[in-house]
Amino acid sequence: MVKRFFTDLDRYYFHHGVHYELYNKMGAHVVEEDGVRGVHFVLWAPSARAVCVVSDGNGWTPWRDVMEKVDDCIWELFVPGMCEGVKYKYLIVRADGSEVMKADPYAYASELRPANASVVADLSKYEWGDGKWREQKKQENFLEKPMAVYEVHLGSWKKDWDKWWDEDKFLDYRRLAHELCDYVKWMGYTHIEVMGICEYPFDGSWGYQVTGYFSPTARYGRPEDFMYFVDYMHQNGIGVILDWVPAHFPKDEFGLDWFDGTPLYEYADPLRAEYPQWGTKAFDLGKPEVSNFLIASAFFWVNVYHVDGLRADAVAAMLYNSFGRSEWRPNKYGTDFNMESFEFFRHLNTVLRQRTSAIIIAEDSSIVSGVTAPAKNDGLGFGLKWDMGWMNDTIRYYNEDPVFRRYKHHLMTGTFDYVFLENYILVLSHDEVVHGKGSMFNKMAGSHQDKFGALKTAYTMMMGHPGKKLLFMGQDFGQEAEWDYKGSLQWYLCDDPGHRDILECYRRLLNLYTTHAVLYNDAGKKNTFEWINSGDYMRNLFSFIRRNPWNYNDALVFVINFAPVDRDPIEIGVPVSGEYKKIFSTYADEEEYSLTAVKEECDGRPYRLVVKLRPYESLIFSVPWHESTEEEKEEERKTRRRIKKEHEDAISDNEHVPKVPAPVEKPARAGRKKAAAATADAQAAPAEDAAPPAEAPKKSVKVAKAVKSRKAPAKKE
């Protein structure tokens, strides 16, 4: 019997959608077989008539290295003597007899665009030095840790102007590792979120039309260079999150589109196959092999490249069959939910959380509830969700002339009505500074001079709002131009006193955020935020308290002025007596002072402070320390136990992991008839631990309630 690289067990788990390390078998792998070193190729192409490997190793000669179809869908070939660095493609004779050259869907490396061949790579050589970082992350609950993310597009963050001959002038991964790390570490960010790492052919897509789900883009170097990039970040205390696109793929001929002459990776149904607004194909998540492809991609980046998380792009597009489509096909319950996507995310998030310390963040504009709830509670299981509502509402408020902001006051207060329903991350992302929307600096209403103060106060409000934080590159120093993926940030503005002041202000805010647990340890804890006065709309004023759930020790008082005039005096209610120390002002002066609380009711609280505010000034005060009572100490213990249990329950959730029965071994020839009969009987009887249905149960009341709330229908008990 011929020994297969892709074994029967590999095939079994692949067809059940649970081969989480599929990247170790599919694609091209440098191996040694019977003492001969070479490359083993494995390809999934069930409808292909014939497949061969063409490469610069065989002079791109067709049918010299012909693959063997080892079953009804898997093709294999071992090429002795082939080594790392060889460029290759698959020449596929498709179902209709036509021939097409395809890149390897599982390739570890790719050519630099506009070339698009895959490249043989050996990823086992790099020696990692981030063991301490990874071990530390295993012990942490990320919800209880600060997360201040710097979203960055590597190609336009900074240019290498010494490359006068190179139109792109990209910095490479290794130089980026040092320069970018120095910057984010100095600023006080905890993570970077990197756009456009999975290989893609078109620069104008920013990396959101992916052709290489297992290949870091060659624009900035080789795979081992990107490993160095992540490793260096970790050794300097910076987490790395990648943008990841599980919704769709482009129609480039060398990619996944009609891979073997049939709609293999995409839906066959024309009403579901495409996203018309993007001109891309939608992944058919109803196929276990396609679902497995994406889940294996997620595990690949976490396990092989040590990334700390993935930001899943366009989640809303995946959840609704009607998204961006004038004509759409309802599911069997008559709704527009894409039931395969719900099960896909539940499966993905559950197994990734169980087996790694990584998180997946949902870029989701839908109104589906429970996006960050555990799968066992009919949620999707994401770690965090982008707060798109907060982003849109606050930007609308900032756009408004201060004279008329009183009529938009609700935009700033309404976000607090739902902020604790999900685990949110507040985002001011790349999407908001392109296509004529203007930079964050120019979103601020008023004169050019007003914009400096307004932006600093906007960032203070962001830091005081519950949720993790994300800011796109360049906005921390008030870049004035929109983002241009072909260009570079306006770093020269940092020499301007006004822009330097914005940068220093945001740096001080990051330091406050990362050193005060009341600002970051708030997920799901409603009593960590209290309004002092949310109704002072005539003066564009906001005041609130950030606190821990059991008392006011370590609490902070925020007083925020969104008007370009002095506010003097301002009376605000505070919870306890004593000296309230000013620890932050959006003005750059370092004057330190304290205010004494007066025993007089104000804003429904027993004490009051009298505060003076300058134009567009925000102030933060620390609340005086008081000895905790026994009741408060007990409440603290109860809260910590509850949080620990919720974290453990989320990790141990198995409900939406497919229950795959053990494969039946092939019986010896003499006993095959008897074994076949026994196998048929076993398959006829449903297993007790059979996998849950892919779609919701036929309970009309439950489905109706779910549709009303836009929540995923619950799994049948």
Catalytic residues, by residue number, are 313, 363
The three-class DSSP label of residue 202 is coil
Omega cis (within 30) before 114: yes
Cα angle 640-644-650, degrees, rounded to a multiple of 5: 145
**Token couple for 332:** 């069997």
Contact, 595 vs 627, CB < 8 A? Answer: no
H or E element in which residue 489 lies: none
Backbone torsion region of residue 451, taken as left when φ is above 0, otherwise alpha when ψ lies between -120 and 50, otherwise beta:
alpha
| Those residues with Cβ within 8 angstroms of residue 418's Cβ, 6 or more apart along the chain or in another chain | 389
**683 Cβ contact list (under 8 Å, min separation 6):** none
Assigned token pair, 74: 């898997």
- Yes or no: say if 383 and 142 are a contact pair by the CB < 8 Å rule: yes
Outline where 356-447 has alpha helix (H).
Answer: 388-399, 409-413, 440-443
Q: How far apart are CA 197 and CA 212, in angstroms?
A: 9
Cα-based angle 78, 94, 110 (whole degrees, multiple of 5): 55
In contact, 482 and 434? CB cutoff 8 Å? yes
- Structural contact between residues 74 and 111, judged by C-beta atoms closer than 8 angstroms: no
Strand stretches in 528-578, DSSP E: 529-533, 541-546, 556-561, 567-574
From CA 525, how far away is CA 548, in angstroms rounded? 9
CA–CA gap between residue 306 and residue 298 (Å, rounded): 11
3-state secondary structure of 403: coil
- Measured between alpha carbons, how far is 449 from 490 in angstroms, rounded to an integer? 18
For 535, residues 6+ apart whose C-beta sits below 8 A from its C-beta are 409
Helix (H, G, I), strand (E, B) or coil at 618: strand
Report whether 199 contacts 518 (CB < 8 A): no
* Distant-in-sequence, close-in-space partners of 8: CB < 8 Å, separation ≥ 6: 663, 666
| Cα separation values, 588 from 457, 500, 502, 505, 620, Å | 13, 11, 9, 7, 14
**How many angstroms separate the CA atoms of 109 and 460, rounded?**
42
Structure token digits, residue 35? 């003492």
Q: Look at residues 323, 328, 335, 212 and name the one whose alpha carbon lies nearest to residue 278.
A: 323
Output the six-digit token pair for 621. 């005060």
| CA-to-CA dists, residue 254 to 100, 313, 520, 621, 715, angstroms | 8, 23, 45, 59, 39
Strands 274-275 and 384-386, by their bridges, are unpaired
**DSSP code string of 344-378:** HHHHHHHHHHHH-S-EEEE---S--S-TTS-GGGT
